[in-house]
Amino acid sequence: MTRFVLRRLLQSVVVLFGVTLVVFLLLQLVPGDPVRVALGTRFDQQTYDALRERSGLDRPLVAQYLSYVGHALTGDLGVSFRSGQPVTTIVLERLPATLSLAVTAVLLALLVAFPLGVLSAVRSGSALDHAARVFSQFGVSVPDFWMGIMGILLFAGVLGWLPPSGYVALTEDPARWASHVVLPATAVGLVTASILTRFIRSSVLEVLAEDYVRTAEAKGLRARVVVVRHVLRNALIPVVTVVAVQLASLVGGVIVIEVLFAWPGVGRLTYDAVQARDYPVLQGAVLFVAALFLLMNLLVDVLYARLDPRIGLR
């Protein structure tokens, strides 16, 4: 196990190097001068030259990249052109908002998708199965921002039950946090639930067709016992990957939803950085998301071995 984790961590470092290189090169193709944009109406040549020198933009591209990588290895992702704050600090400040939204949305999605997917597979061809497939297709086809807009119009505009936007920290006021997180988490969670429902249904159907399941049924075991003891554990293995990827994607930032609901998370941070051409913040956010995906993949591989001992870690 230890050797496997160390080997995967080394591979992740190589991938992150590749991510930093690709992002750095792509940013060089973006038109416009980020320092000029950051200064705005405060522009004067002396300040402009000083900021370019402080940011290292007056050096050759190779020197800029090597300097960025060297500082990144120590946890220093640079300084924001716009605010002057360290990028690491900015990203970590936005992380709790995104984590609270992502975890809530995934929990909501699992509460809907798990029972619906399992029952749909167990009662394949029934009215419930058809309803589940319609829900799944609807959720995949309708974008989450449309659901968010409809939720704002109905529950905030017409009924007045929930606030249309904004954010309150969970630790500051749990009740107000809950009222603010309902709409964005539901918009994201329903789309995620539709995706998970399809995977859970397909996975359970595949396991139900296995010989050992038919053997358990032939021994006279009750259907509930067969499903709980023999089907779910094996059916959940591929579902774990989908859940982990969805969670990593949400933590990486649901940009449109966070902008729509004025949610100050990593997605909103990325959007603002693109608009302001704040390259250090944009590079830091992308690097954070890439590292998160790699970490989730590692955790999924380890969890696979726990769920099914037949899967070895090599």
**What is d(CA 285, CA 287) in angstroms, rounded to the nearest whole number?**
5
* pLDDT score for 108: 92
With bands split at pLDDT 50, 70 and 90, how would you rate the model's confidence at 311? low
**What is d(CA 134, CA 154) in angstroms, rounded to the nearest whole number?**
23
* pLDDT score for 6: 80
Q: Give 210-266 pLDDT, tens digit per residue.
A: 777 777 777 777 777 777 776 777 777 777 778 877 787 777 667 888 888 888 888
Tokens 């470092």: give the residue.
Answer: 13
β-pair partners for 165: none
* pLDDT score for 45: 73
Q: Which residues of 30-46 are buried (b: 16+ CB within 10 A; e: fewer)?
A: eeeebbeebbeeeeeee
Domain ranges of the chain: 1-87, 95-311
What is the pTM assigned to this prediction? 0.80
The superfamily (CATH) of domain 95-311 is MetI-like (1.10.3720.10)
Element containing residue 26 per DSSP (H, E): helix 2-28
Residue 216 Rama label (left phi>0; alpha psi -120 to 50; beta): alpha
- Map residue 79 onto helix, strand or coil: strand
- Are the C-beta atoms of residues 250 and 191 closer than 8 Å to each other? no
- Are the C-beta atoms of residues 267 and 254 closer than 8 Å to each other? yes
Q: Give 116-160 pLDDT, tens digit per residue.
A: 988 888 888 888 888 888 888 887 788 888 888 998 998 888 888
Round to the nearest angstrom and report the end-to-end CA distance of the chain: 8
Which of 171-185, 196-210, 219-233 shows the highest mean pLDDT? 171-185
Between 269 and 38, name the one with better pLDDT: 269
Tokens 């905030």: give the residue.
Answer: 156
Which of 201-205, 218-222, 302-306, 308-312 shows the highest mean pLDDT? 201-205
* pLDDT score for 252: 67
- Map residue 86 onto helix, strand or coil: strand
Q: Which residues of 47-58 are buried (b: 16+ CB within 10 A; e: fewer)?
A: ebeebbeebeee
pLDDT of residue 184 exceeding 80, the answer is yes
Q: Give 24-82 pLDDT, tens digit per residue.
A: 888 777 766 666 666 666 666 777 777 677 777 777 778 878 888 888 888 788 888 77
